[in-house]
A = this chain, B = another copy of it.
Amino acid sequence: MATIKDVAKLADVSPSTVSRVIAGSNRISLETKLRVKRAMEELNYVPNAIARSLARSRSRTIGFTIAREADQAFSNPFFSEVMRGMSTIAQARDYNILLSISRTPEEERQKCMQLFRERRVDGLIVSTSRKQDPLIDLLIAENVPFALIGRSCEHPVLSVNNDNIQAAKKATLHLLEQGYEKVVFISGDPNLIVSQDRISGYKQALSEKGISFAAERAVTAEFSIESGFNALQELKSRGVDFDAVLAADDLFALGALQFAGHNRLRVPEELGIVGFNDSPLLSFTNPPLTSVKILSYELGMEAVKLLLNALSDPEHCSLPAEHVIPSQLIIRQSSLKKNREMDCT
């Protein structure tokens, strides 16, 4: 591998001149610039990124960390899409992405701090969804540049969030406007910010329509089809009456579909169903499921933009702002009591 010295020697200049050519400095004569460039070509020279990082004390790398269990949601397309979005912006700005998947939140915390303190990354994109995650306090305390993705935050930090409140509200209103009158809500882990946001949107929609919220109509399920099914069965056995379900995840929506089949309820006539995430293949259920589509790709792009801007303008700039990416309600048959159009956004 040729180094900057080799190039310098061949071009008969000093290393710093070569460095200037690399940096595109204009305080250099066209002639020597060309000579240097020819030498670089000839030697097939590529600057050593590690050495540059050391000299400039910046790695031009950002870390992306997630903590996921084996079985859990990591396999859902959300993260894939987020990564694609991140990658798009990172490439364009000549940054790299370091990926770290942890098994537990504690491990993630460790990894985050390690990556930054080792100077391996200039900043982090973090996707924790727990409320008041200690990781966030730690990052703030240690002055680590970072952006949150897929959540809002109590503290004033950079974050990109999807509009869970609005989305849940819109979905609920959609059901009500379709003529359903008793909408129940299946929530995920109530400790997650997303869950709280979604239920809050559900409540807002109810109150907007003059319907009072009943705590018994909102139930919690674990992350599985079965758990969604069971949640509804239990509601039923408790005598709670309902004709529509807003599910905080597509899995629950599928559980609701099973519930309908099990109880011989026609969908959408007797039971309306709306899910969250617009999972692939979802349009293939019978009937096709209405679902809220999160724009994960855009989330990823925006998070990196925010972070890189903050990095390039360390002091002044970027007053910690939460960017909200609107999501789309993909309407399919499962929520169309009035049975109208099929697929509008």
Contacts and interface: CB of A to CB of B under 8 A. Distances in A.
A344 interface: no
A215 interface: no
A225 B284 contact: yes
A117 B1 contact: yes
Contacts of A250: 281
A131 interface: no
Interface stretch (A17-25, A75-83, A159-167, A173-181): A75-83
A117 B40 CA distance: 13
B100 A97 contact: yes
Interface stretch (A42-50, A198-206, A317-325): A42-50
Contacts of A53: 50
Given A83-B101, A99-B99, 6 more contacts: A1-B119, A68-B84, A79-B80, A80-B80, A83-B99, A96-B115
A183 to B, nearest CB: 23
Nearest to A77: B75
Contacts of A75: 77, 80-81, 280
A59 interface: yes
A118 interface: yes
Interface in A109-144: 111, 114-115, 117-120
A79 B75 CA distance: 9
Can you list the 10 inter-chain pairs with the closest CB atoms, starting with the nearest?
A49-B118, A75-B77, A87-B101, A46-B117, A99-B99, A50-B53, A49-B120, A97-B99, A50-B54, A75-B80
Interface in A302-323: none
A254 B97 CA distance: 35
A286 interface: yes
Contacts of A74: 80, 84
A285 interface: yes
A214 interface: no
A70 interface: yes
A328 to B, nearest CB: 16
A114 B114 CA distance: 26
A59 B50 contact: yes
